[in-house]
Structures are given as structure tokens and as C-alpha cells.
Amino acid sequence: MIYLLKFLGVMTAMILADICWTYYFIKVEERKSLHAGIWSSLIIVFGMFSVINYVEDRTLTIAAIVGAFIGTYIAVEVKKRKEKKD
């Protein structure tokens, strides 16, 4: 049970980190330095949690990989849908 919680924790942290990465690049492209800086800081927060855990247990890299894919996919889809509405 504890392993499952760690797995889900790492996956969630990577989902959030990749959402942050996507929005970081969007804000950099828009030249919004404050927003880009905030997204950058959040990348470190979520990345730190996941790295600490998968360095301790290498099998959690699978959770990191899955989370990275999901996070980027979600962020891009949300951005596309938002742009369609505008």
C-alpha cells in the first residue's frame, strides 16, 4: 500500500511539474516574466518531490515517465481548447 501511494505521489508530482513546464514555456514566449518565474518555481517544487522519491527507488521512474506524459498532454489539450473558445 505504501508503494502504491509513493507511485501515485510521484506520478501526480510529475503531472503537475509537466503542466508547469508547458505553461512556463507559454509565458516565456508571451514575455511575461513574473508569470514565467512563478511557473519556474513550481517546476522545482514538484520536480524535487519526484526526484527525491525515484532516486530512492528506481522503479518509481515508471511513475515519473507516465506522469510526464499525462501532464504535458493535459496542459496542451487545455491550451488548445481555450484557444478555440477565444
Predicted pLDDT of residue 40: 96
Tell whether 71 is covered by a domain: yes
Predicted pLDDT of residue 85: 85
Predicted pLDDT of residue 39: 96
Domain residues for the domain of 64 are 2-81
Domain count, the chain: 1
**Burial track 57-83 (b if 16+ CB lie within 10 A, e otherwise):** eeebeebbeebbebbbeebeeeeeeee
Tell whether 69 is covered by a domain: yes
Predicted pLDDT of residue 60: 92
**Residue 19: all three cell numbers together:** 503542466
Contact 56, 7 (CB under 8 A): no
How far apart CA 53 and CA 63 sit, in angstroms, is 10
Q: Which whole number is the average pLDDT over 59-73? A: 94
Tell whether 86 is covered by a domain: no
pLDDT in tens, 1-56: 799 999 999 999 999 999 999 999 999 999 999 999 999 999 999 999 998 988 88
Tell whether 15 is covered by a domain: yes
Tell whether 49 is covered by a domain: yes
Read off the pTM.
Answer: 0.86
Q: Among 53, 50, 52, 28, which Cα is nearest to 39's?
A: 28
